[in-house]
Structure 1
């Protein structure tokens, strides 16, 4: 099994919705963390997707070196008090993926930047603590506490992806709330999605997931 698609969307853009949809279509998905019991490689079970991407990238030049047991990677960043990794913002890592894996597809789950910024504020301590206190690419420490700062950062990430993948048929950006999103994703990935909805909504704030 080889990774078929990677989502380059930011947290709260619909990454978990994508993960659930692909799992219901029969794909094995790594979402944020390599869950014990679901990860085919016990040596990396429990670690973060972002950590494995960077270990492969810097260790062998191939970000997918240890992730070949999955069909899809739906949430690839991590932001904790000790770890801040954002592969979806990293030009070098993305270029390595495109070069090493010419058949790999990319998608970017998106929502309106203002709505995403507000959603981040309501999600555990993401908007109030972790983003402002982190050193996130494009959002240095001390920024990201206000909705406008987060929205500007989100919009810039969207622009970065559109610029980087301009004219590349392997890339699809979509709005999670767009009724045509499931059909567009299915056509891009060559499968039928039996489910599409809302997963990991802000009602579940106790988990701390982003």
Structure 2
């Protein structure tokens, strides 16, 4: 869809792809810059999604991940009520506001302080704290149409440990989603390569009509992340 396209069900839906190729930037290794930092800077400067995020005022390239998930699964609707867990720096919230319109009610939470976003209630805190669900529910003040989770524990460098930790976050986010989602609601959560563990995936399939794994084009090819997209919540 073109950048001026409109959705009958949601707000404005700009293209979730970069608008064109930027000029190639070459980064030299300075005296105080290691080879690894030069490679990282080179990747950032030449990443089309990083460049496009700057053009559009998004707070990071991750905004395109949720935009491409929405393009594929059509989760955002006009005036949706949304919870965004692990929302820093705020790119997912920006896309949600953009696509759901000014009538949307969006609540985000993150360990880090997030700069204000028009149309979004932002809470600083650890979602794993005992009082976090109650704080979110108080601000939501009603059921949610969508629960998003881009939460990830700090990497340990040990793939199996990292996988277990992110699965723990996913399971907790899913439990919260079950408490707040309306019938037919959606849950999107980050997992690592290989997807959700069999037992968790089996559980999710009992709660939602459709469950898919999806890796957006904007997710770097060398990244092990992918997303579990569950739609059609079946409220007990």
TM-score by length of 2: 0.34
User: Greater RCO between the two (CA within 8 Å, min separation 6)?
Assistant: 1
Bigger Rg, which one = 2
More strand by share: 2
